[in-house]
Copies of this chain bind each other. A is one copy, B any other.
Amino acid sequence: MPDSESMISRHILPNYRIAVVGSGAVGCYYGGKLAQFGRDVHFLMRSDLDHVRKRGLRILSKQGDFHLQKVHAYGSTKEIGPVDLVLIAIKATANAALDTLIPPLLKADGSTMLLTLQNGLGNEEYLAERFGAEKVLGGLCFVCLNRVEPGVIRHIGHGKIEMGEFSGLPLPRTWEVQGEFKRCGVVCSVAGDLGLAHWRKLVWNVPFNGLSIAGGGIDVGQILADEDLLYLTRALMREIIGIAKTLGYEIPSSFADRNIENTKSMGAYLPSSLIDYLEGREVEVEPIWGEPLRRGFNAGAEVGRLEMLYRLIRRKVNAREHEE
């Protein structure tokens, strides 16, 4: 007779088949954490496919390096087949690819969960329109990662996921997924209101990612050290809080100051959008600036600062692409 603990464990622990779509730094890190703890994870890969098949996946982290020698890596989602949970971590600028990538991963009973770990606004809606809102969960990643070479991800700091149901309040499955992340060493919390969580994250992302590009390629320390950019950081944060309020998401105004205080300890940190910009990769202009602007504008909120930032960044990014 099995002892009671193993019975409980067998009963409580889900036995998810998991696919990771988009095996950049975010996909490899969170998928890698789940695989490290024995979960059944299948990675869709492109450029790193052969390398990872031969040499595995390596995560370098202050919390402990680890190496997964045997990784289930595939060149298509058809080879992966239906799964219980999809972690979506492609660039939001490439969302159109999901139209064909996702269907082979869906179970016939409709129970597959689509958890997007992408930046900004609009990704959950994109999935909901195509595959049904009831499948969609959103996860906000507070993590500093860098892909240093094929199959090697450096985890620089943080790592928390804040996740929730696109359709509303947490369900039993929400807590199950959270539990799986926690049991695999990922700090994870369930958000009662995913929309509010997004807008809270935008309070930081809009000014710091934005001014780092608009300011000509500067880190968060340089933004905070400049009187005018610090002023604009605060003004943009307040404008985002105002837009959120108009949309029904209450964020206390003290949140702006707290965010600025917390950023002081980050030193010369380069926001991810700036790294994308500097390295010639696509910048997620629409999810971080464009979509928040459109929602604020349509709701009649004051959006002038965000509009300036969005247009100046869009122009810079387009100008860079024309130069290539």
Chain A positions near chain B (C-beta within 8 angstroms): 214-215, 226-229, 231-232, 235, 239, 302-309, 311-312, 314-315, 318
Contact = CB atoms under 8 A, between A and B. Distances in A.
Given A302-B304, A307-B305, A308-B309, A315 B239 contact: no
Given A215-B312, A232-B308, 8 more contacts: A215-B315, A226-B315, A228-B311, A228-B314, A232-B311, A239-B304, A302-B302, A312-B312
User: How many copies of this chain sit in the oligomeric assembly?
Assistant: 2
A229 B307 CA distance: 11
24 contacts: A214-B312, A215-B312, A215-B315, A226-B315, A228-B314, A228-B318, A229-B311, A229-B315, A232-B311, A232-B312, A235-B304, A235-B307, A239-B304, A302-B302, A302-B304, A303-B304, A304-B304, A304-B305, A304-B308, A305-B307, A305-B308, A308-B308, A308-B309, A312-B312
A312 B239 contact: no
A228 B315 contact: yes
A290 to B, nearest CB: 11
A144 to B, nearest CB: 26
A266 to B, nearest CB: 20
Nearest to A308: B308
Question: Shortest 6 CB-CB distances between A and B: which pairs?
Answer: A304-B304, A308-B308, A228-B311, A228-B315, A304-B305, A232-B311
Nearest to A236: B308
Contacts of A228: 311-312, 314-315, 318
A308 B207 CA distance: 11
A232 B303 CA distance: 13
Nearest to A235: B307
A98 B196 CA distance: 54
A90 B154 CA distance: 57
Q: Which of A307, A314, A318 has the most CB of B within 10 A?
A: A307
A83 to B, nearest CB: 41
A95 to B, nearest CB: 22
Contacts of A305: 304-305, 307-308
A217 to B, nearest CB: 12
A300 to B, nearest CB: 12
Nearest to A242: B304
A311 B231 contact: yes
Q: Which of A226, A228, A239 has the most CB of B within 10 A?
A: A228
Contacts of A235: 304, 307-308
A214 B226 CA distance: 16
A239 B305 CA distance: 12
A302 B308 CA distance: 13
A302 to B, nearest CB: 6
A289 B238 CA distance: 21
Nearest to A303: B304
Contacts of A311: 228-229, 231-232
